[in-house]
Amino acid sequence: MAAPAKYNEVMSVIKRRISEGDYLVDSIPGERRLAEETGVSYMTARRAVRQLLDDEVLIRDESGALEVHPTYTKRIKPAEVVLLYPAYPSSYLTQLRVAVSEFATRRTINLRPTQFVHWDEKLVYDNVSQAKGTIIIPHGPPIPSRLLHHFNAHKVVILDGDFSTKGLPSVRLFSDDCIVAVLDHLRGLGHRRLDCLNTQNRNLEIERRIEIWRRWKERHSIEGELHDDPAPVATDPTIVAYRLMSRLLDQRQVEATAFIGTTCPAAIGAIRACYERGLAVGSDLSIAAVNLEPPAEFFCPSITGLNTPELTGVLAKCFDWFAGTSSWRGRMLLEPSGSALFAGESAGAPSVAFAGSHGSR
């Protein structure tokens, strides 16, 4: 009686892989490899495959390779949209993954989240080739031109980055005006020297945020210095920010009354450095971030910055495009309708006493 149970188990494994979109990347293995992967005999794997062929779950092509049967695809609606995102720990990436996954669930679309380490991974190329649509969250290194050409030949959307000039529909989470709102908030509190702190690996989005800060300073005659120490790709920028802020404080190189982090980890690391030196963030020194990551609003002090906007509208346009047969229509660059400024406890009125005691000697 053991053989039928094993053979049913192999069929269940194959069906689960089809449903979850595993074979968007890998081809369906033959019976010998299936036997190795599932820990059964070759004959048991062969019996499972034969039954799946009879049930029109699988089909053999002219070369003898196994493929998913078209009628089975229509019945179960397997994962056909892929979310590709960098393979390193980040609460921000997790937040975006959850937002896209929840939207896909509401649309009754199976989403296949897949992590990648570098742009030349074969899975990046294969996922884009086989999926009906792909959402990609980029990471530090530039996308190679040969891969951009491949993306342009398929339905690919960039999330949290602007590649619209490369012909790719893009979703930029925070508009220029939203970022300026954070800077204006600090200016409204009375700050006239605002330094920028960046420890994120440089990419187009980080460059844009720094440039917005620079232009804003000039427009309002605000003083400020860029403290730039990008963390290596796939490492934690929080630790780098902590060490950078520690050096600035220990060497009495802080003349600003406020800092703006290009990302939330930069602000978190800087706040910790201040705490260890007995400084009250929000009164002695103000620290904000362009964008917040969960649970920044619940920190002590809570961090000032932009909450991640509602993505339903922009995701709807992307998923409608994936489901249709026409080319992209309308603006290539999408921006959600605003991002709420959270005025946390980490930013307050400037402290003249602090600026005078921690400036350069």
Nearest to 313 by CA among 173, 126, 181, 187: 173
Per-residue pLDDT averaged across 123-145, rounded? Answer: 90
Q: Hey, how many other C-beta atoms are within 10 angstroms of the C-beta on 116?
A: 18
pTM of the model: 0.82
Q: How many CB atoms lie within 10 A of CB 106?
A: 12
Average pLDDT of the chain? 90
Domains of the chain in sequence order:
2-75 (1.10.10.10), 79-171+310-334 (3.40.50.2300), 176-303+344-358 (3.40.50.2300)
End-to-end CA distance of the chain: 84
As to burial, measured by CB atoms within 10 angstroms (0-12 exposed, 13-18 middle, 19+ buried), residue 260 is buried
In this prediction, residue 1 carries a pLDDT of 38
The 10s digit of each residue's pLDDT in 166-176 is: 999 999 999 99
Amino acid symbol at 167: G
For tokens 């929000």, name the residue: 282
The DSSP element (H or E) to which 258 belongs, if any, is strand 258-261
Decide: 233 and 139 in contact? Cβ < 8 Å.
Answer: yes
The tokens for 70 are 């078209």
pLDDT, residue 3, reads 47
Question: Cis peptide before 295, with omega less than 30 degrees from 0?
Answer: yes
Q: For tokens 């048991």, name the residue.
A: 44
Closest CA to 142 of 206, 227, 198, 209: 206
Task: Dig out the tokens for 254 from the structure.
Answer: 């802080």
Residue 4 — very low, low, confident or very high, per pLDDT cuts 50/70/90?
low
**pLDDT tens readout for residues 181-210:** 999 999 999 999 999 999 998 888 999 999
Task: Give the number of other CB atoms < 10 A from CB of residue 313.
Answer: 12
For 65, the token pair is 């390779």
- In this predicted structure, the answer to whether residue 243 has a pLDDT above a threshold of 80 is yes
pLDDT per residue as tens digits for the range 9-50: 888 888 888 777 777 666 788 889 888 888 989 999 899 889
